[in-house]
């Protein structure tokens, strides 16, 4: 699987970080607001369920996953 995020629409809620901290971090941008950072865009299979939970619960629905 390959993760992508629409950074234009990410508002830094940190739900993704809460659900799967192995893959998602939230950091302050140089403009001074929080935004997601994908630590590993091709996660190992054992993290699939956690990634999919983050996808489901992202309030802005900006995380998408493509199968490779």
Residue 20 CA to residue 8 CA, distance in Å, equals: 21
Residue 7 CA to residue 35 CA, distance in Å, equals: 8
Applying CB under 6 A, which of residues 3, 23, 36, 51 lies at the interface with ligand SF4? 36
Q: Is 12 in the site for ligand SF4 (CB under 6 A)?
A: yes
Residue 25 CA to residue 34 CA, distance in Å, equals: 10
Q: Is 60 in the site for ligand SF4 (CB under 6 A)?
A: yes
Q: Is 16 in the site for ligand SF4 (CB under 6 A)?
A: yes
List interacting residues with ligand SF4 (CB under 6 A): 5, 10-16, 26, 36, 58-60, 62-63
């Amino acid at each position: 699987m390959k993760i992508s995020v629409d950074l234009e629409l990410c508002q830094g809620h940190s739900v993704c970080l809460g659900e799967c901290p192995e893959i998602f971090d939230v950091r302050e941008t140089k403009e001074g607001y929080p935004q997601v950072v994908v630590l590993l865009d091709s996660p190992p299979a054992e993290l699939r369920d956690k990634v999919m939970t983050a996808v489901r619960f992202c309030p802005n629905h900006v995380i998408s996953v493509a199968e490779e």
